[in-house]
Amino acid sequence: MTATVNTRIRRDDEVIVIAGRDKGARGKVIRVMPQDGSVLVAKANMIKRHTRQTQNSAGGIIEKEAPLAISNVQYFCAKCKTGVRLGVKTLEDGRKVRTCRKCGEVLDR
């Protein structure tokens, strides 16, 4: 049985890789997999996949993104121009929004 990871990172967020082979790479989150504790980031952690030829598609070597651990990425704050931790605040109207822990910028509208 695998544990589900609770994360504040969502699809289409701009993140920066903070550890591993692609440290410093920035990209958009394609997919979040909380059950695995990982994310897919566009143009980061690229691998080569050897595929067999079928009737429908040609074989060859395909480059695609491999999952990264959620702990190895941070949200990229456009105002701070760096990777930041995220917090949650409750607005006056009762909505919960994600905020930058460095500058306090509200990220969700």
pTM, rounded to two decimals? 0.87
Q: Note down pLDDT in tens along the chain; length 109 residues.
A: 467 888 899 999 999 999 999 999 999 999 999 999 999 999 999 999 999 999 998 999 999 999 999 999 999 999 999 999 999 999 999 999 999 999 999 998 6
Per-residue pLDDT, 29: 98
CATH number at residue 53: 2.30.30.30
- Structural domain total, the chain: 1
Has residue 85 been placed in a domain? no
Segment holding 95, helix H or strand E: none
Has residue 61 been placed in a domain? yes
Residue 39, Cβ density class (10 Å: 0-12 exposed, 13-18 middle, ≥19 buried): buried
Has residue 31 been placed in a domain? yes
